[in-house]
């Protein structure tokens, strides 16, 4: 196994373990790649392997999602759930298309910004985990449309690497009175159109710089991301039901602090 394959597997593991917990998978990926000297044209590797994590959601929730698809023609509740996901997806789709170039060219290239956002997001997560309003919505598949839209607006904050897509959506949901378990589950569902859309758009925008010789390593990262994300998705809901989100807030602060020390130390 080549060194590049091992690096691809390591980065896939980082992606899968961090995509659905509120610690910023993109931030962890970019920082890991920065410190080990890994470079991907237009960061396509980092974007493509995220699709492996999306497939983990489809794998774990296939039966439930298939039932929703079957019920849409005749069940108002199923149609409302689909509408809530599409409505929550819309703000990030608009902002992502408008700001794509700036995000990839500037924000993705600033490790110190990523570290600062990890720390700031960790502080916010600790505060919201403790002081969020009492939950009024316990079912991720029955959120009111205005709640779903608010969560989608919060998701736009994750355009800044280090913020965390799942972290932004979970914080938004908690502030809107969604229970901790339902907030994580709605974030799972919202990740599917968001990440699939980001993957397709990024692949199209960077079609001219794709390195086909790296497809083998991308495939390795993709598979490892899928397998590790399946484990996280199966584990996360029970974990946050028991422990909340504070452990992830402290993790973010610790990682961000270490990264800033390394940067200031010239690493």
Q: What is the pLDDT of residue 260?
A: 92
Domain that holds residue 92: 3-264
The answer to whether residue 1 scores a pLDDT higher than 60 is: no
Residue for token pair 């699939």:
196
Total number of domains constituting the chain: 1
The pLDDT, as a whole number, for residue 20 is 92
- Find the mean pLDDT for residues 3-14: 89
pLDDT of residue 151: 97
pLDDT tens-digit readout, 74-85: 999 999 999 999
pLDDT band, very low/low/confident/very high, at 109 (cuts 50, 70, 90): low
Name which residue leads in pLDDT, 31 or 105. Answer: 31
> Which residues is 137 bridged to in the sheet?
178
Judged by DSSP in three states, 263 sits in helix
Supply the pTM of this predicted model: 0.89
In 3-state terms, what secondary structure has residue 78?
A: helix
Q: What is the pLDDT of residue 161?
A: 80
- Residue-level pLDDT at 85: 97
- In percent, the amount of the chain with pLDDT more than 90 equals 60
Alpha helices, H only, the chain: 3-18, 25-36, 44-60, 62-71, 76-105, 111-131, 145-155, 165-175, 180-205, 215-243, 246-264
pLDDT of residue 168 exceeding 70, the answer is: yes
- pLDDT value at 51 more than 60: yes
d(Cα 191, Cα 20) in Å, to the nearest integer? Answer: 9
């Amino acid at each position: 196994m080549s060194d590049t394959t091992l690096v691809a597997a390591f980065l896939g593991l980082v992606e899968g373990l961090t995509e659905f917990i509120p610690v910023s998978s993109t931030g962890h990926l970019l920082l890991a790649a920065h410190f080990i000297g890994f470079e991907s044209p237009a960061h396509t590797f980092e974007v493509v392997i995220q699709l492996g994590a999306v497939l983990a959601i489809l794998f774990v929730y296939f039966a439930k999602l298939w039932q929703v698809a079957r019920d849409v023609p005749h069940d108002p509740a199923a149609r409302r759930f689909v509408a809530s996901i599409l409505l929550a997806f819309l703000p990030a789709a608009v902002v992502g298309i408008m700001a794509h170039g700036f995000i990839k060219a500037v924000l993705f290239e600033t490790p110190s910004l990523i570290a600062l956002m990890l720390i700031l997001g960790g502080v916010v997560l600790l505060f919201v985990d403790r002081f969020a309003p009492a939950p009024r919505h316990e079912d991720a598949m029955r959120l009111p449309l205005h709640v779903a839209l608010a969560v989608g607006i919060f998701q736009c904050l994750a355009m800044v690497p280090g913020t965390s897509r799942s972290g932004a959506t979970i914080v938004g949901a908690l502030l809107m009175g969604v229970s901790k378990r339902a907030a994580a589950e709605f974030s799972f569902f919202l990740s599917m159109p968001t990440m699939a859309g980001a993957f397709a758009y990024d692949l199209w925008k960077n079609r001219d710089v794709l390195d086909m010789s790296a497809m083998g390593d991308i495939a390795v990262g993709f598979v490892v991301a899928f397998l590790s994300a399946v484990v996280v998705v199966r584990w996360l809901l029970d974990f946050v039901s028991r422990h909340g989100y504070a452990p992830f807030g402290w993790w973010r602060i610790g990682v961000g602090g270490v990264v800033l020390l390394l940067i200031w130390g010239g690493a």
